[in-house]
C-alpha cells in the first residue's frame, strides 16, 4: 500500500480537520501518516486512528502566538528565521526520504513548499480560493480592513482594488528565509509570497457558483467544501433550550483574537437572544465573565449545532463559513484577516451574510446586523439556496478521488 503524508499546521483546528476528513476517505487505499509541530489539535488526528509524528523543532507557545498574529496581520515581523526554517526543512526531508510517500498533502505548513521539492515528492495543496493566483488574476480582493484608514478612502475604490490585488501578487512579505533556502537547496525559486501558495497540484475547497470564477489554470481544480465533522453529540442543554428567543451560534475558530472575542461576547449583554459560544478554549488562562444569555462551551460538533441557530456570528474562517452555508444559516462575519474577509464577501454577494470590520464594529452594528438577518425573508431564502448549492458538492469525496486517481495506481 502506498503512503500519503498529510501536513496540516496543527495549531489550526479547521486545517487539521480538513486533512483528517480527506485521510478518512482514502485510508482504504493509502497508508496515511500525519506530522506536525504542536499537539494543539493533534488529538483529532490520533482519535481518528492515524499516526501523528511529532516533529522538531517543536513550536513554543510564544511562537504559536506570533504565527497567529502574523496570520491576522497584527505583526509584520517574520515568524520564521532562516535557521528555524532550515531545521524544519531538514526534519521534513528526512521523513519523506524514510517514508517514500506517493505525495504530501498540505494546508499551510509552508516549510513543506521547500521540503517536498528537496525530497522530490509531489506536493498537493488543499486550500481556500481567496488570495490564490487565480483569485488575484480575477481581481477578486476587496480593500482589506488591515489597510482601512479614513485618509485612504478618498482614493477611488477601483484604484484601491487594483492596487491591493497587485500588492498580494507581488509582495515579498515574510519571504526572505524561503527565498534564501530555495537558492541554497537549488530548487524552484521562491521570490514572492504568492510562490508559497501553489503546489504541483492545487485542490480548491470552494465552488465556482460562489467564487464567481469558473475556469482555473492547469493543475488547479475545485473539489468543494471540506469542513470539520467533530465527534460527539449536541449537549442536551442546547437541545432543551426554550424556543422563545432567537438562537445565535457565535464561533470564532482557533485563530481568534481574544480581545475581539471579549468584545463580541459582551455585545450580547441584554440582547433578546440565547447565544451558544464554543470559545472556552480561548480563555483557559483567565476568568471570563460572560453575559447571562451566553452559554460558553469548549469545541462543539458545529455541523450539528449550527443548523439549530437562527443566525451565526463568525470570524470568516473557511470552516465556519462553510458550516453555516451547509446548515442554511445566515451569518454576520467579522474577518480577522484578508482571506477570512474574502470568504465572508463571497456569501455577502449572494445575499445571506453581512460583513463587519474588525476595527470598527460595535455592539450596535452587531445587533443591527443580526436583526436584519432575522427579519428579512429573502435573506433566509437565499441561505437555503446556498445550502443546496454547497451540499451538491462532496469536497471530501472529490479530493479523495483525485488522490486515488493520481497516486493510487
- Read off the pLDDT of residues 106-165 as tens digits, 9 standing for 90 and up: 998 999 999 999 999 999 999 999 999 999 999 888 888 888 888 888 989 889 989 999
Structure confidence at residue 64 (pLDDT) = 86
How many C-beta atoms surround the C-beta of residue 262 within 10 A? 17
Percent of the chain as helix, strand, coil, to the nearest 5? 45, 15, 40
Structure confidence at residue 282 (pLDDT) = 75
pLDDT band at residue 70, thresholds of 50, 70 and 90?
Answer: confident
- 245-274: average pLDDT: 89
Q: Which CATH superfamily is domain 2-225+393-407 in?
A: Glycogen Phosphorylase B; (3.40.50.2000)
Query: How far apart are alpha carbons 312 and 365 in whole angstroms?
Result: 15
- 341-356: average pLDDT: 96
Please state the domain extents for the chain: 2-225+393-407, 236-391
pLDDT band at residue 77, thresholds of 50, 70 and 90?
Answer: confident
C-alpha cell at 164: 491591493
Count of residues in the chain: 409
pLDDT at 179 over 80: yes
Which one-letter DSSP state was computed for residue 223?
-
Structure confidence at residue 142 (pLDDT) = 86
Which one-letter DSSP state was computed for residue 328?
T
pLDDT at 53 over 80: yes
Contact 2, 30 (CB under 8 A): yes
Render the burial of 168-196: b for 16+ CB within 10 Å, e for the rest.
Answer: bbeeeebbebbbebbeebebeebebbbbb
The CATH code of the domain at 236-391 is 3.40.50.2000
pLDDT at 199 over 80: yes
Structure confidence at residue 399 (pLDDT) = 98
- 44-52: average pLDDT: 97
Helix locations, 100-132, DSSP H: 112-119
C-alpha cell at 66: 506570533
Q: Are the folds of 2-225+393-407 and 236-391 the same? A: yes
Query: How far apart are alpha carbons 381 and 41 in whole angstroms?
Result: 36
- 355-377: average pLDDT: 94
pLDDT band at residue 306, thresholds of 50, 70 and 90?
Answer: very high
Amino acid at each position: 500500500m502506498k503512503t500519503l503524508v498529510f501536513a496540516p499546521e496543527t495549531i489550526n483546528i479547521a486545517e487539521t480537520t480538513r486533512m483528517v476528513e480527506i485521510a478518512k476517505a482514502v485510508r482504504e487505499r493509502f497508508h496515511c501518516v500525519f506530522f506536525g509541530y504542536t499537539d494543539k489539535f493533534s488529538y483529532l488526528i490520533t482519535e481518528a486512528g492515524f499516526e501523528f509524528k511529532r516533529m522538531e523543532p517543536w513550536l513554543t507557545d510564544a511562537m504559536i502566538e506570533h504565527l497567529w498574529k502574523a496570520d491576522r496581520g497584527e505583526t509584520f515581523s517574520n515568524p520564521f528565521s532562516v535557521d528555524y526554517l532550515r531545521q524544519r526543512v531538514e526534519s521534513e526531508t528526512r521523513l519523506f526520504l524514510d517514508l517514500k510517500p506517493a505525495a504530501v498533502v498540505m494546508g499551510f505548513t509552508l516549510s513543506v513548499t521547500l521540503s517536498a521539492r528537496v525530497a522530490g515528492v509531489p506536493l498537493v495543496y488543499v486550500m481556500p480560493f481567496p488570495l490564490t493566483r487565480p483569485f488575484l488574476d480575477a481581481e477578486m480582493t476587496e480593500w482589506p480592513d488591515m489597510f482601512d484608514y479614513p485618509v485612504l478612502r478618498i482614493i477611488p475604490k477601483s484604484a484601491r482594488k487594483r492596487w491591493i490585488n497587485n500588492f498580494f501578487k507581488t509582495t515579498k512579505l515574510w519571504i526572505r528565509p524561503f527565498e534564501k533556502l530555495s537558492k541554497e537547496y537549488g530548487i524552484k525559486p521562491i521570490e514572492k509570497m504568492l510562490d508559497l501558495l501553489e503546489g504541483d497540484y492545487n485542490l480548491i475547497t470552494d465552488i465556482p457558483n460562489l467564487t464567481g470564477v469558473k475556469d482555473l489554470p492547469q493543475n488547479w481544480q475545485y473539489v468543494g467544501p471540506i469542513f470539520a465533522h467533530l465527534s460527539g453529540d449536541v449537549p442536551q442543554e442546547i437541545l432543551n433550550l426554550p424556543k422563545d428567543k432567537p438562537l445565535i451560534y457565535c464561533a470564532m475558530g482557533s485563530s481568534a483574537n481574544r480581545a475581539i472575542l471579549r468584545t463580541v461576547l459582551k455585545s450580547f449583554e441584554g440582547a433578546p437572544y440565547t447565544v451558544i459560544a464554543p470559545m472556552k478554549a480561548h480563555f483557559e488562562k483567565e476568568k471570563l465573565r460572560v453575559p447571562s444569555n451566553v452559554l460558553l462551551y469548549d469545541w462543539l460538533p458545529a455541523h450539528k449545532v449550527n443548523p439549530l441557530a437562527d443566525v451565526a456570528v463568525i470570524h470568516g474562517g473557511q470552516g465556519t463559513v462553510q458550516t453555516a452555508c451547509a446548515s442554511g444559516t445566515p451569518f454576520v462575519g467579522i474577518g480577522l484577516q484578508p482571506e477570512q474577509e474574502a470568504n465572508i464577501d463571497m456569501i455577502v454577494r449572494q445575499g445571506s451574510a453581512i460583513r463587519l470590520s474588525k476595527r470598527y464594529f460595535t455592539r450596535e452594528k452587531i445587533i443591527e446586523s443580526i436583526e436584519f438577518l432575522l427579519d428579512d425573508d429573502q435573506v433566509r431564502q437565499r441561505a437555503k439556496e446556498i445550502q443546496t448549492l454547497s451540499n451538491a458538492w462532496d469536497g471530501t469525496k472529490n479530493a479523495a478521488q483525485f488522490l486515488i486517481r493520481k497516486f493510487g495506481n
